[in-house]
Amino acid sequence: MTASTIIEPIRWGILGTGRIAHAFATALMDTPGATLAAVGSRSADSAAQFARQFGAPVAYGSYQALCDAPEVDIIYIGTPHPMHAANATMALHGGKAVLCEKPFTMNLREAENVVALAREKNLFLMEAMWTRYMPALAALRRIIASGEIGTPRQLHADFGFCATPDPAHRVNNRDLGGGALLDLGIYPLSIAAAIMGPVTRVQAVAEMSETGVDAQTGFNLLHEGSGMSICSCSLVAKTAGELTVSGALGRVRMDTMFHHAPSLTVTLLDGSTRVVPTPFLGNGYVHEAIEASRCMREGLLESAGMPLDETLALMRNLDTIRAQIGLRYRADE
């Protein structure tokens, strides 16, 4: 490789030092052409410890300092849901591109404000919906496009696990954006729209918890053109975590946990079955980091895999579901 072909690395900053931030920092270590340039936390000690663990040369004891840092090109936001809008706004005002963890914001109003700011400033912005960039989704789309199962008419997807019953924990705490829908339901909702097309109608029911958030939610979707999706999410049941798309000629299942499925199973009307391996890089988050880096290098302001208008449409659907099940947060006031 000659000096003229050497690609300068995309310099990442990570805002937040929680579990998801650790997962993304791990992914950056496996992402070609990416480097962790800095980390920011509300605690200087937490930032320093994170920086030591992942080899970041700079640790900032405030989010604002990270957003103002000259050595950072793009900031990954890995804070709790209610902080996403404010943190993304801070980063954009600092002139930084943004990859914001899902759910993008708490509601559509917040999302519209963040998207409008990014467009005003001509800065890259993307929702960190890692499932959109995994090899399994690309393979599923190829199978559907081939016509092997016929036109997809029905999708089933579930995502559930048994969370801690601690009422103060993030997943149960309404002040921290708790509940199954925003934490888990966003996965089947997003991938259903990616596969079946834009959502035109939503019907939802939920079992509410003692802390006032949804312990589990089920929602049916009608899609533009034709087709429907039946989805559920739960914090009180360990579900299969699979996704199946069916047509007149057969079906395709995203095996195991569909958001990072290692394989697909195709079953046709004649009873024949085949397994399609869909291995992914590192811990899976690598693929969204690669996509964001690619967009940055090409001067794009959003990714075709997760367009901002689709992020807004999904936030609108989440708002509709929450209205139907009676779930409100402080951000809605």
Active site residues: 102
Q: List C-alpha distances in Å: 9 to 23, 98, 123, 288, 296.
A: 20, 16, 18, 16, 10
Residues 74 and 31 sit within 8 Å (Cβ to Cβ): no
Q: Please report, for the chain, how many H helices and E strands are present, in that order.
A: 10, 14
* Residue 258: both structure tokens together: 């569909």
Start-to-end CA span in the chain (Å): 56
- Give CA–CA dist 12/65, Å, rounded: 14
Residues 155 and 192 sit within 8 Å (Cβ to Cβ): yes
β-bridge pairing 97-101 and 74-77: parallel
Residues 75 and 276 sit within 8 Å (Cβ to Cβ): no
- Give CA–CA dist 180/183, Å, rounded: 5
Longest dimension (CA), the chain: 63
149: Cβ–Cβ under 8 A, 6 or more apart, which residues?
A: 143, 245, 246, 247, 248, 249, 250, 251, 252, 266, 268
Neighbours of 59 (CB within 10 A): 21
Residues 40 and 67 sit within 8 Å (Cβ to Cβ): yes
